[in-house]
């Protein structure tokens, strides 16, 4: 099992970002953080690269369940999704697979929740 789920899209970087934000919201997530890696790496290292944005998404209901059953689970939250521009102008969108992330926790009470969140993320990737 891979640690991420991924799709390719013909959308431009900005179009893909907008589509992902909307799709996450429609799937019940809130985007709680955004890291523009293209800008961060350019500013700190002078490195030029294609668009690369990391979105941190959270389903409040599921986050509460996770924190209730595993108080230190916050080190694995929120769910990260990347929107990355390919060299040909298309984009790939990848989301963490919560099932894989939760395996390291070893708390069976989180398995059903991780399965549900993974399904929600897979649906959100249907741009």
pLDDT in tens, 60-94: 999 999 999 999 999 999 999 999 999 999 999 99
Query: What is the sign, positive or negative, of the torsion defined by CA atoms of 16, 22, 26, 32?
Result: positive
State how many domains the chain has. Answer: 1
Token pair recorded at residue 96: 């963490």
Give the span between the Cα atoms of 33 and 127, in whole angstroms.
20
* CA 118 to centroid of chain Cα atoms: 10
pLDDT reading at 119 higher than 90 = yes
User: Across the chain, which distance is largest between two alpha carbons, in Å?
Assistant: 45
The boundaries of the domain holding residue 88 are 4-124
Give the span between the Cα atoms of 40 and 21, in whole angstroms.
20
What is the pLDDT at residue 126? 93
CATH of the domain at 37: 3.30.310.70
Nearest residue to 79 (alpha-carbon basis) of 58, 100, 63 = 58
Interval 21-41: pLDDT, tens: 999 999 999 999 999 999 999
Q: What percent of the chain has pLDDT over 90?
A: 93
Whether 50 contacts 84, CB under 8 Å: yes
What is the pLDDT at residue 125? 96
What is the pLDDT at residue 1? 86
Asked whether the whole model's pTM tops 0.85, one would answer yes
pLDDT bucket at 127, cuts 50 / 70 / 90:
confident
Residue with tokens 């179009």, as numbered in its chain:
15
Report cis status (omega within 30 of 0) of the bond before 78.
yes
Residues forming a β-bridge with 36: 53
């Amino acid at each position: 099992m891979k640690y991420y789920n991924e799709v390719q899209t013909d959308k431009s970087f900005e179009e893909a970002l907008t589509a992902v934000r909307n799709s996450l919201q429609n799937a019940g997530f809130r985007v709680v953080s955004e890291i523009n890696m293209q800008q961060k790496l350019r500013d700190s290292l002078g490195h030029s690269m294609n668009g690369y944005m990391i979105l941190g998404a959270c389903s409040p209901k599921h986050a509460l369940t996770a924190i209730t059953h595993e108080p230190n689970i916050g080190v694995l939250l929120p769910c990260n999704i990347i929107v990355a521009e390919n060299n040909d102008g298309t984009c790939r969108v990848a989301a963490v697979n919560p099932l894989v992330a939760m395996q390291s926790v070893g708390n069976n009470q989180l398995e059903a929740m991780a399965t549900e969140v993974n399904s929600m993320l897979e649906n959100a990737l249907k741009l």
